[in-house]
Structures are given as structure tokens and as C-alpha cells.
Structure 1
Amino acid sequence: MQSMRNMMRRAVTAGLAGLLSAGAIAASSPNSEWSNFGRDGSEQHFSPVAEINTQNVARLGLAWHQGLTPGFTVSTPVQANGKLFITTGHSHIQAFNAATGRLLWEWDARTREIAQLNLHMSWGNKGIAWSNGKVIVGTTDGRVIALDDRTGKPVWEQRQYGLGDMKNNNGPPRVFGGKVIIGHGGADITPERGYVTAYDVNTGKQLWRFYTVPGDPAQPAATKAEQVMRSTWSGWMGADGKRIGGGGTAWNAFSYDPALNLIYIGVGNGFPYNHKMRSPGGGDNLFLASIVAVDADTGEYRWHYQVCPAEQWDCTAVQDMTLADVVIDGKTRKVLIQAPKNGFLYVLDRETGAFISAEKIAKVTWAERIDANGRPVENPGIRFEGNMPFELWPGPQGAHSWLPQAYSPQTGLVYLPIIEMGALIGPAKPGGMALGGNIGVSLVGDADLPGSRRSLLKAWNPVTQKLAWQVELPGDWPGGVLATAGDLVFQGRIDGYLVAYDARTGRQVWSYKTASPVVAPPISYRIGNRQYVAVMTGSGSQGGGILATGNAPYRTDYRLPRHLLVFAIGGRDKVAPVDMREPEALSDPDFKPDQATIMKGAMAFAGNACIVCHGMNAIGGGAAPDLRWSPMILDETGFRAVVKEGALKLAGMPPSSQISDADLDAIRHYLRLRAMQAPAEREAIRKGMKAKAGEMERPAG
């Protein structure tokens, strides 16, 4: 009897403790939570909370913050059950009390210890999801894992692809209708066959898988999607049964309409880039560069729309797809709005996939217009007819990259982070400019062209297809966007500001100076009666690596302090002052440049994908250390240990054992030259910044 009473007492005590703990984490109402990358299936990146608005945003202050280690910090937090969850680096998950910032638990996927990964194309995952008490993460090594949101302990785990596969997983998973929706990357380096998988959020059981490019033509076409795709490809499989052409990796964009029971998939580019090599007999190559609607329960094909038929310029449709109900010609239409890489903004009927409209939102030279049937009217000369590289706008980085747009149902405007950057592209030639991976073209993606390396925030009316307002931004890598019911638009900047604009006019109404660039998309949520805005700081992704040249005038150092910052009206928290001194020039008096070795080293630096993280011309942008200032390049033994042997693998630098000893020495020689040139380049940038100081209004601190 006594033991029974003791058991009851312990049970009651545990129950009270649970209630007190739940009370300590003041639960947020479901309609104010942010449980997916874009908040919900509409992917609007819009918060319905209006406590922070244009009238009081000037009183917005830092409520709490958390320091983050150097690494990948451009991800989007999610918020639910009174907790805020973030992912950094290669799937290091942390959970905080969303109101106070108290660390509740943390979990590390330990991907760098599990396998010698090909991480060059996947610096980290860009987001996580929450549903039914579980935090969902897709790791770079191909696992999909559900964590208990109370403890951080794994509940279930599935493998999306094998450890030896040339795939990567850096996009955020989504949870729609009780299903985890996730794709993968890899189409830039191999002819992988892209697919999207749905798992049961509670058990991890695979429910369906949808392939985005056709399979083996020797096998019967078992699905309608396979039938549709095959008729648009020719010669994509070799006589030996090996795949020649493929791609179509859907690594980022998914949306969901529960009323229509449709999931929308944004599909990426083909491999090789060169259409004639990928599909020698021609064809549009579905579902490359397409939006595809599938049945949410079965994954069965419903409709598609292709933004770049026979794409060959890394033209992807993996950018977020906003679902909205708008009035067009006096009728309410259920639409899907996307600004893919190709420089147009598209409005489609999301029930049927019917084309409604498309107009240019940036400089476009590959197409004159989109015709009434929804097909592009291509300009002459863009199909590699000649032998010389030509100017292409937008370049492969896109007029809009993965950094999300936002949409406000109150203003009816889409808020777009726009990149103005051209490229030089042409047919592949021996010794040409082709990047690693045998992509089939010669390419300078970050070309020095007039009017290039710029970025803007544009407010666009999707009904009239007209610009409402725009703001010129620093650098060429604009941050992701948040819109709120307080008629505010929040966006981070490469010069280290988080800025709020009036959603209707574009007038800047608030800013906060951070210790490092702000690229990640902010989110907003409510705990009790208080609204919060949260964002992670730090440079990274493409604009912090291969396309970093336009950001060189700004401090984007990899080792700059990175933080999770959470703001609220009346917030009084402070971030401790940090040492912002610039790195000192290396002393290398014995270095004697050799032109032939420099050229060999520059080609090896590009050909072995070093530029992907460490930047074009070794100009680092924050995705990895800037090697022009690194003492490591002066130490032959240490350089070899890091580059070839993986001495810094656990810090995020994967080994590149394939580099020959001769190429390794040439790369180090090239980097020593770049280190010698760096101080003069920095001084020239300073002078240029002073000359341009009056051209751009500096945000108020």
C-alpha cells in the first residue's frame, strides 16, 4: 500500500512539474507559430501577427540573443510549442525557450564524422520543420531524422540516399498534411535522377516517391508522369545502360494546398548543362526547370508548367512558390506565384497549372518575352550556335536565388530579393572556362560586366505585373524576406544590417547593426501577447563563395561573430562588443611568383571546386575562410594536411585527396600571389567605397 501511495505521489509530482514547465514556456497560439520554412504550406513568408507595426517599430529592440560558432548560419528558424529551433553547420540543432532564449537542448547529426562526404556543394542545411511534437531535419549525408521536440532525442530515421551517392541534401524539409516532403541536390555534378520523397511524420514510413526525370527506356512506363517525361527526352541513356543526361533535383521549393490536396514541387536544372549533350535528340526535357503538382496522398502527377524548356543555363525552378488568392479581371483566382532564376515572375492557376501571366523583374537577355501560351520567345544566339562565349542575363546565379520572397495578403505585393548579375557562357572547349563536374559548357558565372554585381529589394504587384517600389541594396547577395501583418517587410543586408521597410511604400522605418552580414530569412511569432522577430546572422551559401566578388567591399569574414538575434518591442538586450579589426597582410618575403605555376594553380583552384566555398579569384565571402589572409598557405606541410588529408574535416573542410601533388603545390603558389595582391585590392576598395558613399543612403543605427 505504501509503495502504491509513493508511486501515486511521484506521478502527481511529475504531472505538476510538467504543468509548471509548460507554463514556464508560454505556449504560442497555433496561428502565430512558424513551423515550416515559409511558415505554412502557402510559403508566403508572412506573419499574421501585427503587434509590431509601422507606428511602433522604432521601439523594436533586442530581446535576447545566442552566440553561434563559425559555419553555416543562413538557415531559417522554426517556432512551435513555445520553443524556437535552429540548425547551423551540418545539422547541429538547438532548441530554446522562444520567449527567454534559455537553451533547452541540442543535438548534432555528426555528419562530418560519419563519412568522408562530398560537402563542397552543401555547406549546411537551410532549414528544418516542426510537426506534432517533432523537429524534422535532412542531413547532408542523406538521412531524414525526426527529433522529439521536448528532449532532442531521435524518434525515427530514414535514409534518403546512400552514403556513396553523388547527392547532397541542403534544402529545408517541409511537413504538409502529416507528411515529410524532401528532395535532394546533386544535378550540378552528375546525371543523377532527381526525386522527391514523402515520409509519414509520425513513423518515418516512406509513403511515395516522385521522380522528376525519366528512368530506363527499356522498362515499361509505369506512371503517367513517366509517360509525359519520356516523350520530351531523346538519347538520355547510353548503349551501355548508363545514364548520359539527367538532373532535375528538387532540393528546395515545395508548397501545399490542403483544399486541393496538391503538393507543388519546384524542379532544378539538368546535367550536363549543355542540352545537346544531355538529350542529343532534342526535346523540352521534362520535368527540368518545372513546377509540378502531385496528389498529396499518392504522389501521382496532376499537372506541370516548365519555365525553361530544354534548359541549358542552370535555369532552375527551385525558388519558393507562393500560393495566394487574388482578384484577376474581377474574379478570385487561386494562383501560384514564382520568380525562378530566369528573370521572369510567373502567375499560374494552381488548380490546373494554366498560365496566367509572366513579366521581367530583372535584366533578361535569353528571352524576349513569354508568349500567350506560356512559352518563352527565345532570343537568337543563346543555344551555343557559335564557338565564342556570349553574355547571358541573368547568369546561372539567377535573378532570384533560393533566398525567399515574401507575400503580404494585406498589400497584395510580392517582395523579391533580386540579383542583377550577368555571366559569360558558351560551348565547352578543351582548356576552356568550364567548372568542375564536366557540365558541358564554358562558364564565367561572376563576370565583370557593366551593371552587374548589384542587388535590389523589389515590391511587385503580381496581378498587374508592375513594380510598386524598389530599394537598391549593398553587394550582390540580398537576404531572404519576411512580411508581417504590421505592414512591415524585414530583410537582412550584406553590410551587416537588419532593416524594416514600410510594406506599402518601401520607406525604411528601422534598422539594427549586427556584427556580421545578414543573409538568412527572418521569421516572426507570438508568445503570449508579445511578438518577436528572429534571424540568424553570418554570410554563406553561393553569395559567400563562388559569387562573392560583388560583396568584396563589405566585411563578410568567415570568422566574424555570428548570432541568433531575437527582437521585441522594448527589448533591452545587448551583444558584447567584438574585435572588428581586419586581418593583417601575410609576410612572405621569399615568395617569387612564377607565371606558369600561377596559371596552373588558378585552373586547379577552379577545377577542383575550391572556388565554390573560397570564392572566385580566392575572394572569400563568408562561406569559408578567405585564404588570401590565412597563414596556412605559407606552411607547405600544414596546407597538405588540410587540403588532401582532411585535418580540418571536423571544422567543415572536407579532404580533396584527388588533387595531385603538383596541382596542390600550384594552388598554394597561386594563393600566395593572391595574398600578396590582397592589401592593394583592399585599399582600392576603400577608395571606391568613399567615392560611392553619397550614392546610397546609409541606414540609421
Structure 2
Amino acid sequence: MRRGWIAALALIGLAGCARTGTDTAAGAGDDWSTPGGDAGKTHFSRLGEITPANVGTLGFAWAYDLGTGRGQEATPVVIDGVMYTSGQAGRVYALDAASGRELWSFTPDLDMQAARAACCDMVNRGVAVTAGKVIVGALDGWLYALDAKTGKVAWKADTITDRTRGYTITGAPEVAGDLVVIGNAGAEYDTRGYVTAYRIADGKAAWRFFTVPHDPKQGPQESPALDAALKTWDPASRWDIGGGGTAWDAIAYDAAADTLYVGVGNGGPYSIAERSPKGGDNLYLSSIVALDRKSGRLKWHYQETPGDSWDYTATQPMILTELTVDGRRRPVIIHAPKNGFLYVIDRETGKPLAANALVRTSWASGYDLKTGRPRLTPAGSAYWQGPKIVFPGSPGARNWMPGAWDPARGLYFASVLDMGNLIFPTVSGAPPRRAKALNTGAALIFTPDLVEALPTLPPPVRAAVEALPEMKWVREKPYSAEIRAIDPLTGKTRWTVPTGGWQDRGGVLATASGLVFHGMLDGRLVARDAGTGRALKAIDTGSSIMAAPMTYRVKGVQYVAVATGFGGGGWPYVPDYSAAYRYGNANRLIVFKLGGGAVPKPAPLPPLEVAPAPPPQAAGTTPAVIAHGQQLFFQNCAICHSNQPRSTAPDLRRLDGAVHAMFDRIVLEGALKDAGMPRWDDVLTKADAAAVHAYLKEMQVKTRTRELALKRAGKPLDSRSLAILSNY
């Protein structure tokens, strides 16, 4: 593995469109009542005490140690002076919003075997607060309702229909009247997506909507919507794997229409040639589905990526607002999913009003708004017929990082990534389902690493890749990562500013006073002029920031708050420009106010030491055993263990003697499950564990040899040099 993340996974302009007027969700005030700020999830605040003129005095107010060291993606909720926020795997914290004093905290009793199926860190994106309850989804699939005053469990509900499969929860619940709705993650594993509504009063299930059909041989579908969807799937589809379509984020409720809008995830396995061999749109993958709140019945759907094969989820945050289009005021959804396009969708009909490309797109050349369908370019994206470089890549042009909508300026502020990946099948034929394990059937190499990785590819594959026309894009601009201000109806960018690297993209906050706030992986919280993008203030926190900032007011004082911690997709691959690389990844909630002081920064990490020598290989260890261990490592372990020295998970090439001695107890018996390492004896045999151990010893020897050479040459033991070893 190199410096990037290599993982085995896998608006047309409208003439005469007016600017926006008043929003249906006009932004948050003193309270910030949902992770998105308001009912429309606009991440926009009406507060105006902090302005472009005085933001230069913004400084430290207080901080709270979350007690963890993983990715932080949640935006806090503040109601009546109390802050509620979630953290790693579904922990919840209630704090005095003016002082940071802890009122209570909650840690779910986590089933690590279920949590093992988390593709993208043990993250959580927020809580719902309603009717005296704080509701959170834990990583292992349990939905908890906690008493808002005490933190005690009022009820809990098991959201997982089949615990032999790789379901988890990472998203925030959505309150809809007297119901709370939650989806699950796991489309890369062996799951069939759905959302479930529970009664807030007692946690009883009210209805469930499945997002993909089941095998018709198993009996009738659960709803007429699935009968219709079944016609878009091959009857010989890989029903055993599940189909994917998990709704891991992006659930929004429109009270006026009494409608829920749910973003649906990618297909599983990735390739439609494997998942649904005869093709088809494969509804409702990569779609927005509008559901009746009371019954869960489908009202309409809009599929943004028909026949998804590229991990193009539609689970990215939606913004509900109103726009004037062709002289008519319409309720709309502003949505930028992974696939590279920015959509404006009519909330009443599900029809796209605009669909503009934000980045380079090789899978489609644009959209026909009359049909609502993309103009596909199969020659450039059908990787099951041969390796392809597909833009955008699996990380998406947009991802979970919330954007913000400023109704007065008519601008959508968001992080945008223009990057592709080489994608190719990992197997031929139809491999059996791997329970609770990755079933993507594809491998990825991201374009920032592709030129360097070419020599490591088999000669025929290398020649085929070098001949692809997209290599010109790769050589000209492997990627760009930016914060942009965008007109959603035209797709035109008002301003853009680069961020530090392709992993450096976080959530955004906009305010009525004309400010845009966002964090960066290098540890800075940046305040920009909403009209120009000019940086007005940058505060070095010493902690990497991905989550969206928020703002609230208590007793006349306006505060800005943000959670810190690197993680998410590719979470073990800590970039060397990040604060997490320099200071570690201790998670904090940091709050700012006008006239505040300097942020206390963590102590810098000590210099890297040369890897210790591992114990000798066991008798009978052969190159074939080591090769088998390498295969098992990349199938099961590499998604968490990047084998980089500053990784947020242990670098397994740097183990000391005591850990080597208890290797089997850790891997097969769960000796470190309380530290986040589950047992693997349901997947790996004792011989398998020995093979993985042998491979890691081999890597440790090579790491030590190289580091000794670097030390003798007076060169730093940096992650860039060491990461290359992962390809040995």
C-alpha cells in the first residue's frame, strides 16, 4: 500500500432560473436542533454576532476530551443550553454548552463481532433529540433511546434482520413525527439494504422499507415497490450476497409533505456483470426514495446512477429547501452524491430540475433532463471487460461530509474531490459469499498513486492501463480537493480554495453574517468570507478536523463548535501533513467564542524508532505459507491495519515480543476486543492465523532493514518511505 488508500473493495443550466428566496428550512437560531442544524439539514445559521469584521478575535472557549482515538464525523445538537453529541461507535455525551461540563455520558455495550463489518472506521454521524429522549444508533446495529436528563436507557431496538450478515450503523437517526427512522451500513459486505421506523414512545417497529428485492424463489416481495424493482434485476442475480443498497446516511423528513427522503447506497458486489449478469437498472440502488411517513410506502424514486457498478452511493447528505425555477417556487432537494453530479430534484415529483457535473466523469457524459437518465459511456467504465480508470473514484466527488446552503446568497458550500481510480475484478466467475466479509469483487488503485503503482502491475495489465485514454487525465491532474461555493442550478463555481490532500475534505458551516467555516486535517479551523472564499481566520487546534462545525448561542454568547479526529474511509492511512500524524489522534470537542484564547494543543508525538526485530519464523514456514498469509491479510486485515507507523490502528510490522507471543490469543480468542480488536476464529483457522503471523514477521524484517538503512543515511523514518514496504 502506498501513501494513498488502496483497498480491495471497491446540473444542466436552466435559462431564466431565479435566485432563491425564503427557505422552507431557514437555518438554525440559538439552538442547533439536528446534526444538520434545522429540518432541512442546511448547516446554515441565522446567528450574526460573529461576523467577517470580528471573526479575527475568535478563540478557544472550552474543550472536552471524548476519550477515544478514531474518526469523528458527528455534528453536535444544542437545545436549551445543553449539547448532545455522539462519538466512536455510538457513544453519547451530554454537556453544558456554555462551559463544557459533562452532564452524563453513555457507552453502548458493543458486540465487536457485529462491529467487525464496519468498512470505514467506528464512526457515528450524530444523534436525534426529541420528546425528552436522545436517540443514537450503535455500530453493532442497536438503536438506543436515552433519557435526555440522565442518559439512562429508555429503550433499545435491534435494527438488524439477519445477524449472520455484515450490517452496522454509522448514520444519525431521523425524527419524523412520532417515529424515528434509521438505516444500516454494509453494502460492501453481504447485506440487503433497508430502513426501519420505530415509535419514539416505546421503540416498537412501525414499518420497514427494503431498498432492493430478495430472491423471487423465496416468495413474494415485501411491497409493490419491490415487485416493480424486481423487473430491473436479472432473475439470476447474486441474491445470496444481498445486493447492497444500504441506507447508511442521508435520511431527511419533510413535515409539510409528511414524507421521508432516503438516500440509497451502492450495489454489492460492485460489478453489475457479477451482481446482475443480464444488466438492468437494479432499483433502488443509488437512488433517492420518497416514502410516506405513516406507512413506509413508496411515493416516488429517482435513480441517480442506474446499474451502479462503481460504489456511487446516493447516501450523501441532502438539503431540503425551496428554489424558484422557471418562475415557479418549488420545494427541492439539493444533492451531490458520489457520482460527480450536483442535482436539484423536485420534492413533489422526484424529477430532476438540474444535473451538473462537478468533476471529471468518465462513466457518464451528462444527463438528459427529459428522461432523467445519464448518458452512459460504457466503453470507459465497464471494467469487468478489462481494467478501467473511472472518474470519479470510489471515495466520490462528494461523500458523507455535509455541505451548507446559504439561502440569501443562493450558494451551496461543500468539499469536492476530483479524483479517479483504476478498478478491476479481483476474481473470475462467481465466488461464494463471504459471511460478514468484503464481497465487492473489485480492487481499486486511486489516481494519486497510479503512475507510481504501474510498474507493480503484471505486464499485460500495465500495458492495458497505459493505453487507456483516461491516463491523460491521470498524468495531467491526478486529483484536486477543494472547498467550493456553487450555484446549484447552473453548477457554476463562485469561488474555490484548495485543501491539503485528497483525504482532506470535511464538513462546512455557513452563517447569515457571511461566514463559511470548515476544518482541515492539518488541524486548522478556517473561517472564510462567504462571498469571496478569502480566509479571514485560521485557528491551529493541533487536532485533525473532518466533522462539520456548528454554531449556537447561550445567554447572548455565540459559540462555534467542532469535533476533531481523523478517520472514516481509509482511516488507517494517516497523511503525513495531518495533525493526527504529528500529534496523534486523541478525539476532542473544541468550542470557540469571540475574545477566546489559544487552543491547547496535544504534545507532539516522539520521533519514530526503528522497528524492533521480530522473533524467528516458526519451523516449517515456507514461501507458500507467507504468500497465503499475505492473501489473508489483504482480504481481512488491511482495511484496518494499513501498516504505516502513524496509523490510527496498530502497525503490525512493529509488534514487540509480548504481542508476538500472544498473537493467536488476540486474533482467534479476542484478547484485545475491549481495545477494538474482535476475534476472527469464525473466519481464520489456527493455520490461517499462523500464516498471517508469518507474513507480518516477514514484513517486520523488511521494515527494520529499510529503517536501519534510512537511519544510517540520516533520513527520516517517514510514512512515505515506509508505506512502500506494504507492497512487498
Question: So what's the TM-score if we normalise by structure 2?
Answer: 0.83
Match of 2:695 among 666, 679, 689: 666
Q: Which residue of 2 aligns with 1:619?
A: 644
> What is the alpha-carbon distance in structure 2 between the residues aligned to residue 116 and residue 346 of structure 1?
33
* Residue aligning to 1:563: 588
CA drift of 1:644 comes to 3.2
- Counterparts in 2 of 1:236 and 1:265: CA distance versus 1, 3 Å: farther
Q: 1:265 aligns with which of 262, 265, 268?
A: 262
- Compared with structure 1, are the counterparts of its residues 636 and 589 closer, same or farther at alpha carbon in structure 2 (3 Å cutoff)? closer
The letter for the 1-side match of 2:51 is N
The 5-angstrom pairing of residues 279-678 of structure 1 reads 279-372=276-369, 373-382=371-380, 384=382, 387-429=385-427, 437-445=438-446, 448-449=449-450, 450=474, 451-452=477-478, 454-477=480-503, 478-545=505-572, 548=573, 551-557=575-581, 559-572=584-597, 574-575=599-600, 578-588=603-613, 600-608=628-636, 610-615=637-642, 618-619=643-644, 623-627=648-652, 630-632=654-656, 635-657=659-681, 658-659=683-684, 660=688, 661-674=690-703, 676-677=705-706
Give the whole-Å Cα distance in 2 for the aligned partners of 1:460 and 1:383.
27
Query: Could you tell me how far 1:390 is from its partner in structure 2?
Result: 1.5
- Which shows bigger deviation, 576-585 or 100-109? 576-585
* Structure 1 pair 469–356 and aligned structure 2 pair: CA distance change class (3 A): same
Residues 368-417 of structure 1: per-residue CA shift (max 9 Å, x gap): 11123221112242453665312111111111111111111122111121
Structure 2 CA distance, aligned partners of 1:501 and 1:640? 52
Q: Secondary structure at the match of 1:61?
A: strand
Identical columns (%) = 39
SS class of match (1:381): helix
TM-score (norm. length: structure 1): 0.86
AA aligned opposite 1:178: D
Q: 1-side partners of 2:367 and 2:304: how far apart?
A: 9
Contact preservation (8 Å) 1:128, 1:136: yes
Mean CA deviation greater in 554-563 or 368-377: 554-563
- Contact kept, 8 Å, 2:67 with 2:587, in 1: the verdict is yes
| Alpha-carbon distance change, 281 to 151 in structure 1, aligned in 2, over 3 angstroms | same
What SS is found at the alignment partner of 2:691?
Answer: helix
Distance 1:222 1:129, change over 3 A: closer
Instruction: Specify the code of the residue in structure 1 equivalent to 2:675.
Output: A
Higher relative contact order (CA 8 A, sep 6+): 2
Contact 1:614 1:621 (C-alpha < 8 Å) held by counterparts: no
Residue type of the partner of 1:515?
Answer: G
Q: Calculate the aligned-residue CA RMSD, in Å.
A: 3.1
What amino acid is aligned across from residue 560 of structure 1 in structure 2? N
How far apart are 1:631 and its partner, in Å? 3.5
Distance verdict in 2 for CA 1:36–1:655, change over 3 Å: same
Give the total of aligned pairs. Answer: 649
Q: Secondary structure at the match of 2:580?
A: coil
How far 1:430 moved relative to its partner?
5.6
- The farther-off stretch of 559-568 and 248-257 is 559-568
Distance 1:186 1:179 in 2: 24
TM-fit CA distance, 1:52: 1.1
SS state at 2:694 partner? helix
Which one-letter code corresponds to 1:644 in the other structure? L
Give the deviation of 1:632 after TM superposition.
4.0
In 2, Cα distance between the equivalents of 1:532 and 1:523?
A: 8
Q: Pairwise mapping of residues 110-259 of structure 1 onto structure 2 (< 5 A)? A: 110-112=109-111, 117-119=116-118, 121-161=120-160, 163-190=163-190, 192-218=191-217, 219-221=219-221, 223-236=223-236, 243-259=240-256
SS in 1 for 2:665: helix
**Taking structure 1 as reference, are residues 529 and 234 closer, same or farther at Cα in structure 2, changes over 3 Å only?**
same
CA shift at 1:53, angstroms?
A: 1.5
> 2:7 maps to which residue?
none
Residue identity opposite 1:331 in structure 2: R
Q: Distance in 2 between matches of 1:321 and 1:30?
A: 16
Deviations 1:5-45 (A, max 9, x none): xxxxxxxxxxxxxxxxxxxxxxxx98432232212331111
- Structure 1: distance between partners of 2:624 and 2:531: 56
TM-aligned CA deviation for residue 589 of structure 1: 8.6
1:502-521 Cα deviation digits (max 9, x unpaired): 11110011111122211111
Could you tell me which runs of 5 or more consecutive residues in structure 1 were left unpaired when the two chains were aligned: 1-28, 689-701
Which of 29, 34, 57 is equivalent to 2:55?
Answer: 57
CA distance in 1, matches of 2:720, 2:401: 31
Distance verdict in 2 for CA 1:110–1:158, change over 3 Å:
same
Deviation, structure 1 residue 353: 0.6
Secondary structure class of the residue paired with 1:40: coil
User: Residue 531 and residue 301 in structure 1: after superposition, are their counterparts in 2 closer, same or farther (change >3 A)?
Assistant: same
5+ unaligned residues in a row in structure 2: which ranges? 1-26, 451-473, 722-728
